[in-house]
Amino acid sequence: MGRRGGRGWYGRVFAAAVGVTAVAAVTSVWTAEAGPVSTAGAGKAGQHTAHAPQKAVSVEIAHASDRGARGVNITIDDGPDPVWTPQVLQVLKEYGVKATFCMVGTQAQAHPDLVKAVVAAGHRLCDHSVSHDTTMDKKPESYQSKEIVDAERMITEASGGVHPQYYRAPGGAFTPYSRKLAASHGMRPLGWNVDSKDFERPGTDAIVATVKSEISNGPTLLFHDAGGDRSETVAALREILPWLKEQGYRFGFPVR
């Protein structure tokens, strides 16, 4: 899921935390030369193949949308899941919305057909670690590295060669080290502004109400397509996506 403990933790805490821990925004270019050649969807706009050099990205955690002040970013965590990911993809297709899928490495490895379907539909990939350990920030750097880099490999291989463009720490458990490591691999650290709380399955109406009341917090919205019954999420997206359009929002991707 997107975050640990009390909901809204990351959006409220990060602004203060970044002022305490100054991290040099120096990143390197990811240049894996021997990755597999991309297949379905690899040539789509916004996707990167595993064998192509990646543009250097910031270590700072992204929140903004590439569509500007009225942009919103739909992000989907914890999949792919054979039951719920296809349903989420269908809703996104119906409303012409592109999203960012933050995938758990083992899930991607188990369901490569779904990873390829996400890419083929023009969505972006995000590394969400191998095992979704929300205590990663308390673990040694060697552990963090394995979780991030192994998931990157699993997702890239499952996609047929499309490299994740972002890294979202499970539960928002970023560290200066994990952010620098992700950025050095061409993956912008990715946060969120609105936690839909769909992971708790509070009911479709509650999910919709949360998004509507908190959309002023910022453009990046957090939903889930795995971790249990996501029928409420699917139903909520059917209400939220057209409502956002009616409010004049434009769907985009997190800045890189």
At 35, give phi and psi (nearest 5°). Answer: -70, 160
Q: In sequence order, what are the residues at sequence separation of 6 or more whose Cβ sits closer than 8 angstroms to the Cβ of residue 185?
A: 30, 54, 148, 149, 152, 167
Cα of 6 vs its chain's centroid, Å: 20
Of these residues, 63, 77, 132, 137, which one is catalytic?
A: 77
Query: How far is it, in rounded angstroms, from Cα 244 to Cα 232?
Result: 18
Of these residues, 48, 63, 185, 224, which one is catalytic?
A: 224
Q: In sequence order, what are the residues at sequence separation of 6 or more whose Cβ sits closer than 8 angstroms to the Cβ of residue 13?
A: none
Q: In sequence order, what are the residues at sequence separation of 6 or more whose Cβ sits closer than 8 angstroms to the Cβ of residue 124?
A: 46, 47, 98, 99, 100, 101, 165, 166, 253
66 among known catalytic residues: no
77 among known catalytic residues: yes
Residues marked as catalytic: 77, 224
